[in-house]
Amino acid sequence: MSADNFTIEAAQRDDSGKGASRRLRREANLVPGIVYGGRKNPQSITLSHNELMKHLEHESFYSHIISLVVDGKAEDVILKDLQRHPAKPVVMHIDFMRVSKTKKLQTRVPLHFINEVTSKGVKVQGGVIAHTMIDLEISCLPADLPEFIEVDMANVELGQTVHISDITLPKGVESVALSHGADHDLPVASINKPKGAIEDDAAEDGEAESDAE
């Protein structure tokens, strides 16, 4: 859990449609959104674009329990989806999902790769690290939700691949992919030969074949 406590103010939104959403963004600098889940009906909301952008500067906001206060009533939510303008620093729409302290939730948390520069495959064997994943879908109770998950590359050698099952997950946290079976044990990162070295190896193989002929 992060030490950060995120609270964001919102208001109920009665109008709907693309035209209404454009007016909110253009005239009032508000972001349209929705909060859903739990035993309540989905609720359309608006929130300050400036306030939201300040929260989005923190990585932990994306994988943290947020106190969403809608017209004075607070409820625990997580950020579920975020739509940004393709060319401008503008949030177009945001989705929140309600969470219960006693019910497991599913969400994605970022992966932090540590000991990359000093790993055996890089420092000693001259390899290059390639990331296949940057976040992981997990299932846990809200109290166990981590801000991020570490992937230790210290002992990974050249040619090796780190899979989901190789990651040490925090207590109470499960991988959604692995819950579907061992055939869902996807690669997370690997240490490979630099591109130039691969091309050199291929050239040497070609020369060796020519000599043999």
Say whether domain 6-99 belongs to CATH 1.10.3720.10. Answer: no
Higher pLDDT, 66 or 201: 66
Q: Is 106-198 the same fold as 6-99? A: no
pLDDT in tens, 110-161: 999 999 999 999 999 999 999 999 999 999 999 999 999 999 999 999 999 9
| Per-residue pLDDT at 211 exceeds 60 | no
Per-residue H/E/C for the chain: CCCCCEEEEEEECCCCCHHHHHHHHHHCCEEEEEEECCCCCCEEEEEEHHHHHHHHCCHHHHHCCEEEEECCEEEEEEEEEEEECCCCCCEEEEEEEECCCCCCEEEEEEEEEECCCCCHHHHHCCCEEEECCCEEEEEECHHHCCCCEEEECCCCCCCCEEEHHHCCCCCCCEECCHHHCHHHCCEEEEEECCHHHHHHHHHHHHHHHHHHC
Rg (CA), the chain: 23
Fold exhibited by the domain 106-198: RNA Polymerase Alpha Subunit; Chain A, domain 2 (2.170.120)
Domain ranges of the chain: 6-99, 106-198
Range in 2-11, 18-27, 57-66, 148-157 with the lowest mean pLDDT: 18-27
Strands 105-114 and 66-70: unpaired
The whole-number pLDDT of residue 2 equals 46
pLDDT in tens, 25-56: 666 688 999 999 988 999 999 999 999 999 99
Mean of per-residue pLDDT scores for the chain:
88
